[in-house]
Amino acid sequence: MHTRRRKALTALMLGCLALVATTAGACGSAKPGQTQLDVEIFGDMGYRDLYAKYEQSHPGIKIVEHVVSYDDHHKNLQAHLLGGSGTGDIEAIDGGYISQFRVMADKFVDFRDYGADPGQWLPWKSQQATGTDGSLMGLGADVGGLAMCYRRDLFAQAGLPTDRDKVAALWPDWQSYIATGKRFKANAPDGVAWFDSGSNVFNAIIGQAPVGYTASSNKVVVADNPAVKRAFNLAVEAVQAGESAKLSTFSQQWNAGFQRGSFATVACPAWMTDTIKQNAPQTSGKWDIATIPGGSGNWGGSFLTVPKQSKHRKEAAELAKYLTAPEQASWIFRTQGHLPSQASLYDDPAVLGNTNEFFNNAPTGRIFTEAAKNLRPQYQGPKDGDIGPLIGLGITRVDKGKQQPAQAWHQVLKDVANATEP
């Protein structure tokens, strides 16, 4: 090749590379002088309009939101914290993972340094995000609460009362819930089970115990804690009575189960009302919500945290405080249905008076906030997120007839040992 032509080609290639390099960095970044805050979340938390309002009142701030799937988001956060770089300025953490990240509380800012008061939130919510040295590493965003969503039409077909107060009176505790299930099964339409999955029932029961899988010393007590065995036995009793539809939560068949009316009751947190609406829009008005047996519970809910890796800690902390403040939390509840975790809102008539048309105008504001308020703080250890599903699998094995309860419990203990040993 002629030298001149070769030199021209080389120059062209370098020029193209330079062009690509400069434009690649330019997408979506803040203008010079502006501070860009990256908010990393795992689902729609309803913040988009709030960003616009915040940017208006804080001219130097530009907010960019990234949404990644639930599992990937938490794995990425884990990997970035380990690697030392790559986290956003605000990272949302789900209630199921917060106890795992609390071990690394020293990698997150202490919001008390920025004027946050842990007493602002429900006690158990703040406790979940409090490190061993008392630092507040996460601000409570939403909670799940817990209630029992049921199908009024299927209840009527089986000869059970349908009014939500009468229904709540049917099951003040879990034993009576299982007994009502047997009553339902006696006259139920074909192919309809009492509840969707034994592991969901188990999770609801164990959530009400004063001590769960881990003692406050961080020692795993699954084998010793009688409450865990009792919850396991109750769930096993329910599945052995044939009350379960044997579905895995969030699976395809579980989604379809709402449409096909495969089960008459399901333990539902506030955010699941949206899921039910999406999965089975044509069942509008057929559902209702009653208090959960035991009267208290929580499933899910999230926190906003600011990793210390952030280069704009103060601005990020201020934004996080804004997004979780009572005024914004109340607005999110009224427009999106995410249950707030601010204690002051639990006496707010605007929140308490909320109803849901899809669920036969059930007073969702009152029911879910009561369940969340009544929840006794249960210490969550770092391994709890692993242990719950393992016990759930044990109940599933009994449900499918693969193991006897004693065998299943034995394997659960083996699984827990495998998960918790170093």
| Contact positions vs another protein (CB under 8 A) | 71, 75, 78, 100, 103-104, 248-254, 256, 382-383, 386, 389, 393, 396-397, 400, 402-403, 414, 418-422
Q: Return d(Cα 257, Cα 200) in angstroms, integer.
A: 15
Residue with smaller CB distance to another protein, 118 or 382: 382
Closest approach of another protein to the CB of residue 299, in Å: 15
CB of 247 to another protein, least distance (A): 9
Of 408, 85, 99, nearest to 77 (Cα)?
85
Measured from the CB atom, the residue of 76 and 225 that comes closer to another protein is: 76
Q: Least Å distance between CB 283 and another protein?
A: 18
Query: Would you say 296 or 396 has its CB closer to another protein?
Result: 396
Q: Tell me if 65 sits within 8 A of 14, measured CB to CB.
A: no
Residue 218 beta carbon to another protein: minimum distance, rounded to whole angstroms: 9
Q: Enter the tokens of residue 240.
A: 């052995």
Q: Are 357 and 283 in contact (CB under 8 A)?
A: no
Min dist CB 353 to another protein, Å, is 36
**C-alpha torsion sign, points 250, 410, 293, 369:** negative
Which residue number, 52 or 406, has a Cβ lying nearer to another protein? Answer: 406
In the complex with another protein, which residue's Cβ is closer, 145 or 385?
385
Phi and psi angles of residue 41, each rounded to the nearest 5 degrees, phi first = -130, 175
Distance between CA 140 and CA 303 in Å, rounded? 5
Which residue in 371, 360, 368, 370 sits closest to 163, CA to CA?
360
Please, which residues have CB within 8 angstroms of residue 112's CB and are 6 or more apart in sequence?
Answer: 118, 135, 136
- Decide whether 188 or 345 has the Cβ nearer to another protein: 188
Q: Which single residue is written with the structure tokens 């007994």?
A: 179
| Closest distance to another protein from the beta carbon of 255 (Å) | 10
- Residue 404 or 418 having the CB closest to another protein: 418
Q: How far is the CB of 106 from another protein (least distance, A)?
A: 8
Q: Which two tokens stand for residue 319?
A: 């934004």
Kindly write down the DSSP assignment for every residue of 251-262, as one continuous string. SHHHHHHHHHT-
Local structure of residue 216 (DSSP, 8 states): T
| Contact between 92 and 42 (Cβ < 8 Å) | yes
